[in-house]
Amino acid sequence: MRDATSRFILRRERVRRKISGTSERPRLSVHRGLRNICAQLVDDEKGNTLVYASTLSPEIKDSFKAKDTLGAAKALGELISKKAIEKGIKKAVFDRGGYIYMGRVKALADAARKGGLEF
C-alpha cells in the first residue's frame, strides 16, 4: 500500500511523461498549495519559464478575500492568460501536475480559456 505522497508523485510523473511544452505551445504548469496557487508557462525544450503568476502577485493579491481560494484561482487564470497574450502566446498545453482536475485547478483552467488562452 502506498501513502498519499507517493501516489501523488506517480500521478505527476505519469502526466509529465505525456506532456511537453515548446516555445510555440508552452506547458501551463499549476502548483496548488493550501493557501496559494501559482501557474507558469514553461518551454521544456530550452528549460525556460516564459510567464509566471501567483496569487501573491501584486496585480491580484487584493482582488479576493483570504478564504476565497476559488475566486483567487479564477483571478490567477485570467492574469496568466493576459500575461501570455502580451508575450504573444496564444496556445498552451495544460499540466495539472498530479492534481485532480476539479476545484481550483479547473477554475484556473476555465478562467485561462476565457481569457483567450487555448489548450
Residue pLDDT, tens place only, 70-107: 999 999 999 999 999 999 999 999 999 999 999 999 99
Average pLDDT, the chain: 93
Residue pLDDT, tens place only, 22-78: 889 999 999 999 989 999 999 999 999 999 999 999 989 888 877 889 999 999 999
Strand order in 48-54's β-sheet?
48-54, 37-43, 27-32, 93-95
Report the alpha-carbon distance of residue 107 to residue 116 in Å, rounded. 14
**Segments making up each domain of the chain, as ranges:** 4-114
For 4-114, give the CATH class: alpha beta
Give the single-character DSSP code of 91. Answer: B
102, burial (CB in 10 Å: exposed 0-12, middle 13-18, buried 19+): exposed
